Amino acid sequence: MYTKASEREKFKALRDHHMNYDTYMSRSSTLQNDFLWWESAIQNAHNDIRFDNYDLVIYTDASLTGWGVCCDEEKTQGWWTATESQHHINYLELLAIAYALKSLAKYKESCSILIRTDNTTVLSYINRMGSIQYPALSNLARDIWEFCEERNLWFFASMINSGKDTVADSEVRVACCVARTNLQQVRVTSCVPLPEETEYELSDGAFNQITLRFGAPQIDFFASKANHKCRRYVSLLRDPESEHVDAFTIPWTGFFFYAFPPFCLILRCLNRIVNAQAEGIMVVPFWPTQPWHSIFLKLLTQEPLRLRQVQLTMVAGLLSAKHLVSEMSLRKP
């Protein structure tokens, strides 16, 4: 891994000097970290003899729309951001592996992982720890291996034939694989376009209005890598960069939160705010006929902010259950 950048520099120098091996080349400053690694690690570096036994088997797939991964019964998926979607499919397939490891092996240490992919280019860049031809792929492969190096993880990429045993799974939003314990029995979903309503978010302009009115939240409770509004966020499914999975499994106190939940979870969120005595910003549709609407109004600590989003009016409010406790205590005989 720590030789690929040097090999590329040598390749470029030879190309620029018409393959003249007697010509001198200058050392790029970008190689300094690699040389420092060799200087510090050369005495203790070793590579154990490994056997074909794996603690995890992870299946990955990607399309131009999104990515999906699966390990046994655990699976997760997501959208590409606007920037990511501009990359070549080979880069996206490799990025799906990066997200697979960050989602499913983030807290693993000292274990072996088998990656199943249907992309031969990705397989090569993983198993060779990079190459000299495509720097973007090589840099991403290096990032993946550095992630594994920090956790003493070893992984190997192997092919899975996407032309066989492939079915469409309408319940999965992006391409993902469903693995069985027997590696000979694998069901792989095909890559399907993500519908526009799969995920939603407020526009950046609307979110800026909210922060100007109510202050900057510390954590986003219902988000993903593609649409989180705070640096810290909680995802519904396993996510490569989320701090936790499932907002209802963590405490809601101790920080100023932001929540734009799925509409079916609004009442549950309001109940959680009351029970946890939490305080934060919540965004809901302007829907006076809903049973949760009166609870939302009671929890407001100041005038809400109305936001026009496409054809739906959203209401952002600063909520707190602390004043409800004082009101209840005053009513006690």
User: Average per-residue pLDDT in the chain?
Assistant: 79
3-class SS of residue 116: strand
pLDDT at 50: 64
What is the DSSP-derived secondary structure letter of residue 289? T
Return the closest-CA partner of residue 27 out of 44, 8, 46.
8
Q: Which residues contact 2 (CB under 8 A, 6 or more apart)?
A: 34, 37, 38
Assess whether pLDDT exceeds 70 at residue 175.
no
Assess whether pLDDT exceeds 70 at residue 24.
yes
Do residues 301 and 319 make contact, with C-beta atoms less than 8 angstroms apart?
A: yes
pLDDT at 46: 64
Assess whether pLDDT exceeds 60 at residue 130.
yes
Q: What are the chain's domains?
A: 49-122+156-189 (3.30.420), 204-331 (3.40.50)
pLDDT at 47: 66
Assess whether pLDDT exceeds 80 at residue 250.
yes
Q: How confident is the model at residue 187 (pLDDT cuts 50, 70, 90)?
A: very low
| 3-state secondary structure labels for all residues of 125-166 | HHHCCCCCCCHHHHHHHHHHHHHHHHHCCEEEEEECCCCCCE
- Over residues 182-207, mean pLDDT: 53
> What percent of the chain stands above pLDDT 70?
80
pLDDT at 328: 39
